[in-house]
A and B are shown apart, each in its own frame.
Chain A
Amino acid sequence: MKIQENLRETARKLLADGEASLVIGYAPGSEVSRVVPAFISREDEVDRLVWNPLCINNLAKYLLDYRHEPGKVAVVVKGCDSRAINRLLQDNQITREKVIILGIPCPGLINPDLVAARLDPGAQITVAAVSEQDFSLQTEEETFTFTRDEALLKKCRDCEQHTPVIADFMLGEEIPPNDPADPFVAVKTLEELPVEERSAYWDKQFSRCLRCYACRNVCPACTCRECVFDQAEPCWVAKANNLSENTAFHLIRAFHVAGRCVDCGECDRVCPVNIPLSLLNRKILKDIKDLFNVPTPGTSLEELPPLGAFTKSDPDEFM
């Protein structure tokens, strides 16, 4: 709980000194298995802030809502989310001087469904601890232990950066990267299927898309002032919900964020009908890595996205 205390103290100081006008972090949600993005602008609200293994949401994109505010905005980021900060900075969506990055080295998160299945929904987590073997969540009543094997969130299994790649305040001890598991196993399995089966696989996924645009709205690479999918003229993708239009939506989106998707996993998390969107984005991520030998977008502020940078040494055999 050291990190949570550091977080609250740092937030309190930033607000008290007038250094930040707003702190974006996590607060307890409507039930024990959920947290909510919290927007804290007063010192006396700082104790609402929590840090525990349920803090999944990537908060970086909320910075866009406050980019025209006069004051500085502080935001809590984990390793994965921190890549989104670099991404937004590279696209000049946010200004470095106007954001204060509260970095939290994150040892991995817990699958909230397992927490919901075992804990009383009305309980409050008082202490949360993560070890190499397990997660331990303490409530007023008792302590619950989940083994890491059963409970680690899927996206955390091949985490690239536990420690944020950019931060003004690092609120915990740096956690060295794992021996990374191959994040592209599922992509490779799909790549090996015959083309008809691959096509059938995606047809089934895209057919149930509701076009709710949650994947787009949550995405830190989606920052267009007016999205092509919201335009009536020209009509790139019709409003009609059918396999053809849905496929067009997903493929256009995947190509649009190509080289800019930071692999934070939010699209996957929010999809109400569980379309494995990270698989689509990781296919492109893998191809870009193979072609240009670059790290995951957002890993470094200096490394521009390969499709967004120009160098004289670019091969141009396709021209």
Chain B
Amino acid sequence: MKAYTITRDNLGAWLDALARDYTLIAPVREEETVSLFKPVRGFAEINLGYTNSTVSPKGWLFPQTEEMFFFSTGGGQITLADAQTPGPAVLFGLRPCDIKGILALDPVFNGAYQDCYYQKRRQDTILVGLSCTRVERHCFCTSMGGGPTDGGGADLLLTEMDDGYGIEVLTPRGEELVNRYQQYFDADRENRVIPAREELGKKLAGQFTRNVDTTGVKEFLDQHFELPYWGELARRCLGCGICTYICPTCHCFDIFDQSPDGELGVRSRCWDSCMFSHFTRMAGGHNPRPTQKERVRNRFLHKLKYHRDRYNLDGCVGCGRCVTRCPVNIDIRQIIADLQEVARHD
């Protein structure tokens, strides 16, 4: 695959051009400690120095609230109208774990069942990855089959170098994008880009504070659905939606209508969370997950077992967001270690 380099000045000019020609979604710093992926008007708004955004960038492809269609029921007729879709977009500056998160969502929305909303956004969006330059204390992507410079799944991968950035073209769509803006890029004549990324990858690999060994965990969970462990863990769970909403692979949603007069309205879908008590509550009041124990178990089985059963992919990419933000320190790294301990005593 081809590689290019770009100077810092040209990167700014390129991003300004991308913002003019596409909807550009990039990491933005809000307040001191929050960084979020948002539509930007140009380079000046972007913060590429982030390590891990507070909320994962999945929301561009699977928005927290997405209008599906409009309806009217006037005159005894039901008329539907499509909701607007955003059109061509560039999702810029994705960290490798978040690219892997998108790859984990693809088979859910874009596999055996084709979800037209996700599919449209996914087709219309070019993914530009950005190799990590730091490892945060809760990062554990290397334990989940990823790596801080492993940008597979993106169309282009940027890596910061001493004098600018290296760009690797990973797909034909990435190639097209580079060709369209070729005035900003220089060919990587000395073949520096890939070695620089590999070097960075090696350096960062030694900075992970905690390695997680998932060996045997899925196989154990295959055999053990009921474990007292889940009940113990659930005692402290607040039942909030933090972990599911900031997660790059959680994808549950609810569908609801809004219609002030009952005649004109919109049907939307919005994120839902298996941590919420009413998530599986049925119309008659029955709830197959009546307590937090069943809900907590569901989330971790989804991450460590169900996603692998269904798609042969890990449901967790090791971004560490839930570890950082859980108010009661429910830490998936610890859960994996605990389950191994439980398995040893089984």
Binding site for B on A (CB under 8 A): 29-31, 34-39, 57, 62, 65, 116, 121-122, 204, 208, 210-214, 216-218, 230, 232, 238-242, 266, 269-270, 272-274
Q: Is the CB of A39 within 8 A of B273?
A: no
SS of A interface (majority): loop
Q: Is the CB of A116 within 8 A of B137?
A: yes
Contacts of B245 in A (CB 8 A): 210, 212, 272
Whether A241 touches B246, Cβ cut-off 8 Å, given contacts A121-B209, A272-B325, is: no
Q: Is the CB of A217 within 8 A of B239?
A: yes
Looking across the interface, which residue of chain A has its beta carbon closest to that of B246?
A: A272
Looking across the interface, which residue of chain B has its beta carbon closest to that of A226?
A: B278
Whether A242 touches B65, Cβ cut-off 8 Å, given contacts A269-B327, A273-B55, is: yes
Distance between A183 CB and nearest chain B CB, rounded to angstroms: 21
Q: Is the CB of A230 within 8 A of B278?
A: yes
Contact of A212 among B232, B241, B254 (CB under 8 A): B241
For residues 265 through 280 of chain B, which have their beta carbon under 8 Å from a beta carbon of chain A?
268, 270-271, 273, 276-278
Is there a chain A Cβ closer than 8 Å to B123's Cβ?
no
CA distance A204 to B34 in the complex (A): 12
Q: Mark B236-247, 1 if CB is under 8 A from A, else 0.
A: 101111100110
Contacts of B239 in A (CB 8 A): 217
Whether A273 touches B34, Cβ cut-off 8 Å, given contacts A30-B334, A210-B246, A241-B64, is: yes
Listed by A's residue number, 10 A-B pairs whose Cβ atoms lie within 8 Å are A30-B334, A37-B235, A210-B64, A212-B245, A230-B277, A232-B256, A241-B65, A270-B327, A272-B245, A272-B246
CA distance A272 to B238 in the complex (A): 14
CA distance A133 to B238 in the complex (A): 35
CA distance A37 to B234 in the complex (A): 11
CA distance A74 to B324 in the complex (A): 29
Contacts of A230 in B (CB 8 A): 276-278
For residues 27 through 47 of chain B, which have their beta carbon under 8 Å from a beta carbon of chain A?
30-31, 33-34, 36
Q: Is the CB of B235 within 8 A of A272?
A: no
Distance between B167 CB and nearest chain A CB, rounded to angstroms: 31
Q: Is the CB of A208 within 8 A of B240?
A: no
CA distance A258 to B31 in the complex (A): 27
Q: Is the CB of B246 within 8 A of A36?
A: no
Q: Is the CB of A238 within 8 A of B258?
A: yes
CA distance A216 to B30 in the complex (A): 23
Distance between A283 CB and nearest chain B CB, rounded to angstroms: 19
CA distance A204 to B30 in the complex (A): 9
Contacts of A242 in B (CB 8 A): 65
- Add 17 more A-B contacts to A31-B331, A240-B65 (CB < 8 A): A30-B331, A31-B210, A36-B328, A37-B235, A122-B209, A204-B30, A208-B36, A210-B246, A230-B276, A232-B256, A239-B256, A269-B327, A270-B327, A272-B54, A273-B54, A273-B55, A274-B33
Contacts of A31 in B (CB 8 A): 137, 210, 331
Contact of A218 among B232, B238, B256, B258 (CB under 8 A): B238
Contact of A30 among B36, B271, B329 (CB under 8 A): B329
Distance between A205 CB and nearest chain B CB, rounded to angstroms: 9
CA distance A12 to B52 in the complex (A): 43
Whether A213 touches B270, Cβ cut-off 8 Å, given contacts A122-B210, A273-B54, is: no
Contact of B242 among A57, A238, A270, A274 (CB under 8 A): A270
Distance between B232 CB and nearest chain A CB, rounded to angstroms: 8
Distance between A66 CB and nearest chain B CB, rounded to angstroms: 10
CA distance A266 to B328 in the complex (A): 11
Contacts of A65 in B (CB 8 A): 235
The 10 A-B residue pairs with the shortest CB-CB distance in the complex, in nearest-first order: A214-B240, A212-B241, A30-B331, A270-B327, A30-B334, A29-B329, A37-B236, A217-B238, A272-B325, A34-B329
CA distance A279 to B210 in the complex (A): 36
Q: Is the CB of A240 within 8 A of B258?
A: yes
CA distance A280 to B67 in the complex (A): 31
Contacts of A241 in B (CB 8 A): 64-65, 270-271
Contact of B236 among A36, A208, A273 (CB under 8 A): A36
Distance between A214 CB and nearest chain B CB, rounded to angstroms: 4
Whether A57 touches B256, Cβ cut-off 8 Å, given contacts A210-B64, A273-B34, is: no
Is there a chain A Cβ closer than 8 Å to B121's Cβ?
no
Contacts of B273 in A (CB 8 A): 212
Looking across the interface, which residue of chain B has its beta carbon closest to that of A117?
A: B137
Q: Is the CB of B34 within 8 A of A274?
A: yes
Looking across the interface, which residue of chain A has its beta carbon closest to that of B275?
A: A212
For residues 162 through 196 of chain B, which have their beta carbon under 8 Å from a beta carbon of chain A?
none
Is there a chain A Cβ closer than 8 Å to B333's Cβ?
yes
Looking across the interface, which residue of chain A has its beta carbon closest to that of B268?
A: A240
CA distance A266 to B30 in the complex (A): 21
Distance between A155 CB and nearest chain B CB, rounded to angstroms: 14
Contacts of B34 in A (CB 8 A): 208, 273-274
CA distance A238 to B259 in the complex (A): 11
CA distance A269 to B327 in the complex (A): 8
Whether A213 touches B241, Cβ cut-off 8 Å, given contacts A29-B331, A269-B327, A274-B33, is: yes
CA distance A57 to B202 in the complex (A): 39
Q: Is the CB of B329 within 8 A of A36?
A: yes
Contacts of B328 in A (CB 8 A): 36-37, 57
Looking across the interface, which residue of chain A has its beta carbon closest to that of B256?
A: A239
Contact of B31 among A36, A212, A216, A274 (CB under 8 A): A274
